[in-house]
């Protein structure tokens, strides 16, 4: 009985997330999607939706936590910046429904967290700077990387592009590194 119930729970959550993804893609930015729109389009009852989520934002919070747990399993120790980016992009591709939702809502918090958490392990000169300078370098680097990844999302997130994009992002990190070595 427990396995059957677990399968129903997974199926319901999957339907809700899939429906939310479709609704976000169809609407313009900034328009709120109500739970009633989700459960009707997902063909689940209001009670089923409410059993899993209280609000639409709760869906995103739950997915963020699941993503953090999955991301924590990746070992970044002693990787090159290019390999770090490959792992981030592959992780994003594997969880593309959630990341597509987030990017289409202009919610880059999870992406920022992934970049910050993974880059702690990378040996770059700007990791040694005082906090204020590091934050300036990181902001420059982060927003450039976000732009590149946004283009990847808009083009459909092909997994064949991962190596090329990772190389481009690694080059960007090395440019930021050299730039700030001159400033320091």
**Residue numbers of the domain that contains 36:** 1-54
Report, as an integer, the average pLDDT of 105-131: 70
Cβ atoms within 10 Å, residue 83: 14
Same domain for 127 and 178, yes or no, is yes
Q: How far apart are CA 132 and CA 145, in angstroms?
A: 20
Condensed to tens digits (0 to 9), the pLDDT of residues 45-57 reads 999 999 888 888 8
The Cα–Cα gap between 22 and 14 comes to: 12
Taking only the tens place, the pLDDT of each residue in 22-35 is 787 776 444 577 88
Query: Considering only CA atoms, which of 93, 91, 19 is closest in space to residue 59?
Result: 19
Statement: residue 127 has pLDDT above 80: no
Same domain, yes or no, for 32 and 97? no
Instruction: Output the pLDDT for position 117.
Output: 75
Task: Kindly state whether residues 13 and 47 are assigned to the same domain.
Answer: yes
pLDDT over 60 at 1, yes or no: no
Backbone angles phi, psi at 26, to 5 degrees: -80, -25
């Amino acid at each position: 009985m427990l396995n059957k119930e677990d399968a129903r729970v997974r199926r319901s959550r999957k339907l809700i997330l899939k429906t939310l993804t479709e609704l976000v893609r169809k609407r313009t930015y900034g328009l709120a999607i109500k739970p009633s729109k989700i459960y009707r389009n997902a063909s689940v009852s209001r009670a089923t939706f409410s059993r899993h989520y209280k609000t639409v934002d709760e869906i995103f919070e739950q997915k963020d936590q699941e993503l953090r747990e999955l991301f924590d399993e990746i070992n970044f120790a002693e990787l090159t910046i290019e390999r770090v980016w490959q792992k981030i992009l592959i992780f994003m591709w594997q969880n593309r429904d959630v990341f597509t939702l987030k990017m289409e809502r202009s919610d880059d918090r999870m992406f920022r967290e992934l970049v910050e958490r993974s880059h702690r392990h990378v040996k770059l000169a700007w990791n040694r700077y005082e906090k204020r300078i590091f934050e300036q370098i990181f902001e420059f680097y982060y927003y450039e990387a976000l732009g590149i990844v946004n283009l990847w999302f808009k083009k459909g997130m092909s997994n064949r592009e991962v190596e090329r994009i990772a190389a481009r992002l690694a080059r960007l990190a090395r440019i930021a590194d050299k730039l700030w070595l001159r400033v320091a």
